[in-house]
Amino acid sequence: MSKIFVIIIISSISSIVACSNSNEFVESNFCSNIEKNYSEISASLKSKEINYKLNLFYADKKSEHLQGLMCLKNLPNPIDGMLFEYKTEQSSAFWMYETHFPITIIYFDKNRDSIEYFDMKPCDRRKLETDSDYSNRCYEESKIYTPSRKYVFALEIPSEHENINEIKTFIKDQKLKLVINY
């Protein structure tokens, strides 16, 4: 009897641990059709004074660029955000369509120096809003997140990240360097 009790406890604990580290997705028609596996990478944000190590989802393909953090309810531990890498310089803004938590986005140039950041708010769907109207409104709202210069890397970090305010201060005062551990 005691062996069965121990086995039940152990399997319950492992189920809880597995659930706490899994990605939680929003249920919607749009979200049911997206890829739900992400590559992972580690990176650092560095200056003379700081070195923030980050565990990130990694997007370097067009399909991953288009999806980003859409449909996630939150990020699983130990993921700190998502890094987007492009083969050529970009100038377009990111949008918050089907993104369900606030994000700070940091743009980096081809030398991996920070350009600027934006605090992005979710583009919540309004009641009775059509798919097309929702998409168009989110696109229009995204224009305020357009960087002033071209970028090759973009880093999305939840706005509630424990170090986000300090990171933003360093970007205002000096450049941060993005170091990627491939």
One-character DSSP codes across 13-68: HHHHHHHHTS--B--STTGGGS----EEEEEEEE-SS-EEEEEEEEE-SHHHHHHT
CA distance 138 to 132: 10
CA angle 29/106/35 to nearest 5° reads 25
pLDDT exceeds 80 at position 87:
yes
pLDDT exceeds 80 at position 126:
yes
pLDDT value, residue 98: 86
pTM, rounded to two decimals: 0.81
- Mean pLDDT, to the nearest integer, of 128-145? 94
- Mean pLDDT, to the nearest integer, of 152-179? 90
- Mean pLDDT, to the nearest integer, of 29-54? 84
CA distance 123 to 36: 21
The domain locations on the chain are 24-181
Model confidence band, residue 12 (pLDDT cutoffs 50, 70, 90): very low
How many helices (H) and strands (E) in the chain?
Answer: 4, 7
pLDDT exceeds 50 at position 105:
yes
CA distance 163 to 66: 27
- Mean pLDDT, to the nearest integer, of 60-74? 83
- Domain 24-181 architecture: Sandwich (2.60)
pLDDT value, residue 8: 32
